[in-house]
Amino acid sequence: MNIEKTIKSLENRGFKVSFHESGKDAVSYLCEKIKGVDVGIGGSVTATQLGLYEILGKENSVYCHGVVPGDATIAKANAAPVYISSANAITEDGEILNIDGRGNRLAAQVYGDKRLYFVVGVNKICPDFNTALDRARNQAAPPNCARLNLNTPCRVDGKCHDCHSPQRICNALMVHWAPMRGIDTEVVLINEELGY
Ligand code: SF4
C-alpha cells in the first residue's frame, strides 16, 4: 500500500488529511478539534476500538446507535454538526468507499452543514476502485454481518454472493470523489490496522 500517494490523491481531490502514527495520537488530535458540540458516530468498529464514544463524550454530547440503539439516536447523530465515520476502503487514487444497509451512515456523510471526519486505519487502503469494492464486499461485509447478527451468505463463508437477503448489509455503495458542498471533510489516517 502506498500511503504517501493516497494522502496526495486525497488532498488533490480537496479532502483535508491528517496522518497519525497511532490510534492514541489520532484520538488526542480529535479531542483537540472537537469540544462542546453534538457529535454523531456511525456504526464503526474502528470508532469502537479507539474508544471515541467514551473519550469524546467527556466534553461533547455523542450519539451513536451502536451504543444507544434507536431511531432517536440516529436522528440526533445525523443532525449533529460533527460526524465521525470510518470507511470500508480508500483507494490510492483518493476515493472513499462505504457500503450501508439502512443508509443512515451514508446520509450523514453527504448532506448537511457539518464537519465530517473519516477515521481510517491504513489497512483500508487499496490500490484501485475494483480492489476497494472487493474489499468492502469480501473483507468488510462478512465480519460486520457476523457482528450485527445479520443472516447473509457472506457471513457463512466470508464471500460476497450478491445476495437478495432481506438483511443485506450492502444495499448501497457510496463513493466520495471529493468533499460534498457544505461539509468540511477530513480523513484522519492512522498508521495502524483498525476495523475490518
Ligand atoms: S450482497 Fe449479500 S453476500 Fe454480498 S456482501 Fe452484501 S450482504 Fe454479503
Q: Which atom of ligand 1 is nearest to the CA of 136?
A: 5
pLDDT for res 77: 97
Per residue of the chain (196 residues), what is the pLDDT tens digit? 899 999 999 999 999 999 999 999 999 999 999 999 999 999 899 999 999 999 999 999 999 998 999 999 999 999 999 999 999 999 999 999 999 999 999 999 999 999 999 999 999 999 999 999 999 999 999 999 999 899 999 999 999 999 999 999 999 999 999 999 999 999 999 999 999 9
Domain coverage including residue 109: 3-128+178-190
Whether residue 146 is contained in a domain is answered as no
Cell, residue 133 = 469494492
- 148 CA → ligand 1 middle, Å: 13
Q: Cα–Cα distance between 11 and 16 in angstroms, integer?
A: 6
**What is the CATH classification number for the domain harbouring 183?**
3.40.50.10420
Whether residue 158 is contained in a domain is answered as no
Whether residue 164 is contained in a domain is answered as no
Whether residue 163 is contained in a domain is answered as no
pLDDT for res 32: 97
- Its pTM stands at 0.95
What is the number of structural domains in the chain? 1
pLDDT for res 43: 86
pLDDT for res 39: 98
Whether residue 30 is contained in a domain is answered as yes
Nearest CA residue ID for atom 6, ligand 1: 170
* Contact present, 98 and 56 (Cβ < 8 Å): no
Ligand 1 neighbours by CB, cut-off 6 Å: 137, 141, 145, 152-154, 160-163, 165, 168-170
